[in-house]
Amino acid sequence: IKVIHPHLSDNPEFFRRFEEEATAVAQLRHPNIVQVYDFAHDEGMYYMVMEFVMGETLQTRLKRLNESKRLLSIQEAVTFTAEICEAAHFAHERGMIHRDIKPANIMLDVNGRAILMDFGIARMVDASQHTATGTVLGTAMYMPPEQLSEEKRLVAQSDIYSLGAVMYALLARKAPYKASSLESLIYKISNLEPQPIQELNPEVDYNIIAIVEKAIQKIIYDRYDTALEMAKDLSQAVSSLRDIGERIDMQE
């Protein structure tokens, strides 16, 4: 059960936004999206009842691997990202943008499936609180330039940027950009290029790196048109990795 902070009930727009977003999220039926079963409010407390997923967040998995100086396998990184791309596309087709795709909002269940959580939450609590000065560093690291600007014009490609940023972190063991202050982080995301993945993980194939680089382009329309296109490229990359693995096994 996710409970929305009580102070938000003072916002006259919140109740309308909560019901609107929660209704839309509850209609999302996809194997890679956490199911919302019910939502309501009681004496100023707003809550959502969701599917319980046994497993751990991608953020927890990455932290555990980093502590032992290990990386997620390239095949896992590609597979997890492709699954979340398909989930995001499913929602985009129904007019919903996640706005906050990051490792902490991705669950890995006991069967190794990636599942996207918290659809609609960013919008429910007012997107303005998740941008600019209201954003914490850990969240902003995966946000596209337009979400951190005053424009805040978000489209499907805004989620695609976040998908690319998450995949960068899976392959490179760190987010594309880091800084000690939000202002510095926003500047880097808006103006600088991240450290090349091949410098951080030479084992990553160029074709996979090209997918990530396309997803995190600063200009919206330089990214993939849809998350499904990105998922298809990633699926092809997974197939290539499996073929290479099979050839190696045969040689051995």
Active site residues: 100
Cα dist from 160 to 63, 109, 146, 190, 222, whole Å: 23, 23, 12, 16, 11
Residue 179: what residue type?
A
Written as six digits, the tokens of 201 are: 């993980």
CA nearest to 57, candidates 46, 47, 67, 65: 65
| 96 close to 102: Cβ distance less than 8 angstroms | no
Residue where the block lists tokens 């009580």: 6
Q: Check if the beta carbon of residue 207 is closer than 8 Å to that of residue 240.
A: yes
DSSP annotation of 36: E
Q: Which residues contact 21 (CB under 8 A, 6 or more apart)?
A: 120, 121, 123, 124
How far, in Å, CA of 237 to CA of 243, rounded? 10
- Of 181, 207, 169, which is closest to residue 63 (Cα–Cα)? 169
Q: Give the CA radius of gyration of the chain.
A: 18
Which residues touch 147 (CB under 8 Å, ≥6 apart)? 99, 130, 131, 154, 158
